[in-house]
Structure 1
Amino acid sequence: MLRITNSHIATKNGSFELPDIAVDRGELLVLTGPSGMGKSTFLHWVLGDTIKYVNISGDISLNDVSLKPLNIEQRRIGLLMQDVHLFPHLNVVDNICFALPNGLTGDNGKTLNKNQRRAAAMAMLDKIDLAYVAGHYSEQLSGGERSRVGLLRALANQPKALLMDEPFAALDPQTSVQVSQWAFAQLKARGVPTIMVSHDINNIPPQAQHLDLAKYYRRLT
């Protein structure tokens, strides 16, 4: 479970104190609110980035382990943004291979070699019916394909929690609904606690938690 407590954020324009947050395995919390309020900054704080231009305080724990003393690499939290930055010089399967953890082992307990890692990436693509884009490069993918590959690459790194910042905003409305529903199903099946920033309150799944930051925001006058 991902827990965030006693959180306070102060920007140059205003501040807010959030209620305590608890996101369990496979659950989704959606944050909404006007632009410039600090939603994306909040995600980067949870991720472990150093935030210099905003004052943020609070406690973060994942599976009852405090994340405050851990750096960004140690937190095992993934981030998926609106612009899916796939490596342009690598095809899809190699992008996923790159994301697989170092020292990944097989059923026999031995570390996978290069060919075995590639086979593991192909198996991930095949499992979600994306094997047909394995040899494609980023510029050959549609927006929906790129979003799904981006999510799969994020999950390939085996994060213990995932943060998503407007991940489907660049897609047309119909594709956005289809891809987001697919993504939420993948995250639930894998048991990944997820926090997503969104501007579209109509695209929030009914089972998700919803936190409207505007209710807690106090603008400076």
Structure 2
Amino acid sequence: MSTSSETEARAAAVPRPPARGTRLTLRAAALGRPDAPAVTGVDLDVAPGEILTVVGPSGCGKSTLLRTLAGLLPPLAGAVEQDGRPVDGPAADRALVFQDDALLPWRTLRANVELPLAFRGVPRAARREQAAAWLERVGLAAQAGQLPHRVSGGQRQRAQLARALAGRPRAVLMDEPFGALDAQTRAGMQELLVEVLHGTGATVVFVTHDVDEALFLGDRVALLGAGRLTAVRDVPRPRDRSAHDDPARVALRRDVLTSLGT
């Protein structure tokens, strides 16, 4: 006969329905630090389940925007909201993914992926099972027991992605997560991100310097520059590699590069 703890563990291991995405809104927002505002007058609405990419030159406030949405920086003015409620600090349903993988070096990949599940109170057996399933999904089943320094940079980023999504966040905020990877690994990570996000319903804000990456991943692309949000444009045929030479995509790419002064 099963014990109550075994029953609880099995129940927790059963995949739950996809998390519903969340709406992220900035209204007349000024972002940055009191002595160094980075962006002012930001009006932006990110729809539930949307992938919004953000591009702009170095120092234009992209990371500041992301950290404000994550609740790590309060706005200097205006409003920053999640589903109509003020963002007044970090929250478990908004996951932040950095360029630096930020894995705990003394924990195995599996133990790193278990962290958000432990914070949610998932029983140990169930969180091990769920972490293993996420690592398999990102192609790291064979490396589950390895420490981060024993695997490649691309594999560490896969583990970080698994850790972010294991907690079933409603928003995933990504700060140039693939920027340090070589071109081939980066393209593979873009495809993997699209694959693992499918069905989660999560809202994604993805900061990048790479215009082609922004136009592949994003439903819309937001352009930052000169201390303000200059435009938000719809992307034709997002997440379609064959659309690279689509005339509408080519025209948008040209416009984005012009706006960035490149």
Gap runs ≥5 in structure 2: 1-21, 230-262
The yes-or-no answer on 1:38 pairing with 2:61 is: yes
Q: Deviations over 1:115-142 (max 9, x none)?
A: 3321221122223432111011101111
* Bigger relative contact order (CA 8 A; separation at least 6): 1
Residue identity in the other structure for 2:208: S
Q: 2:221 aligns with which of 182, 202, 210?
A: 210
Aligned-pair identity in percent equals: 29
Q: Secondary structure at the match of 2:181?
A: coil
TM-score normalised by L of structure 2: 0.70
Give the superposition deviation at 1:10. Answer: 5.4
The yes-or-no answer on 1:102 pairing with 2:120 is: yes
Q: Which residue of 2 aligns with 1:8?
A: 29
Q: Which residue of 2 aligns with 1:108?
A: none
Q: Which residue of 2 aligns with 1:47?
A: 70
Distance 1:117-1:17 versus aligned 2 partners, 3 A rule: same
The separation in 1 between residues aligned to 2:202 and 2:31, in whole angstroms, is 29
CA contact (8 A) 2:138 2:159 kept: no
Q: Secondary structure at the match of 2:225?
A: helix
Distance 1:178-1:127 versus aligned 2 partners, 3 A rule: closer
Give the superposition deviation at 1:22. Answer: 2.2
Residue identity in the other structure for 1:157: G
Q: Deviations over 1:136-177 (max 9, x none)?
A: 110111111111110110111221101000100000111111
The alignment's C-alpha RMSD in Å is 2.3
Spell out the pairing of 1:1-221 with structure 2 (5 A cutoff): 1-9=22-30, 12=36, 15-25=39-49, 27-51=50-74, 55-62=76-83, 65-68=84-87, 70-73=88-91, 76-100=93-117, 101-104=119-122, 112=123, 114-204=124-214, 205=216, 208-214=219-225, 217=228
User: Whose helix fraction is larger, Structure 1's or Structure 2's?
Assistant: 2
Give the superposition deviation at 1:3. Answer: 2.8
Distance 1:56-1:181 versus aligned 2 partners, 3 A rule: farther
Gap runs ≥5 in structure 1: 105-111
Structure 1 range deviating more: 206-215 or 134-143:
206-215
The separation in 2 between residues aligned to 1:71 and 1:165, in whole angstroms, is 18
Distance 1:43-1:7 versus aligned 2 partners, 3 A rule: farther
Distance 1:82-1:10 versus aligned 2 partners, 3 A rule: closer
Which stretches of structure 1, 4 residues or more, deviate above 6 A after TM superposition? Answer: none
Residue identity in the other structure for 1:175: T
TM-score normalised by L of structure 1: 0.82
The separation in 2 between residues aligned to 1:32 and 1:60, in whole angstroms, is 21
Larger Rg computed on CA atoms: 2
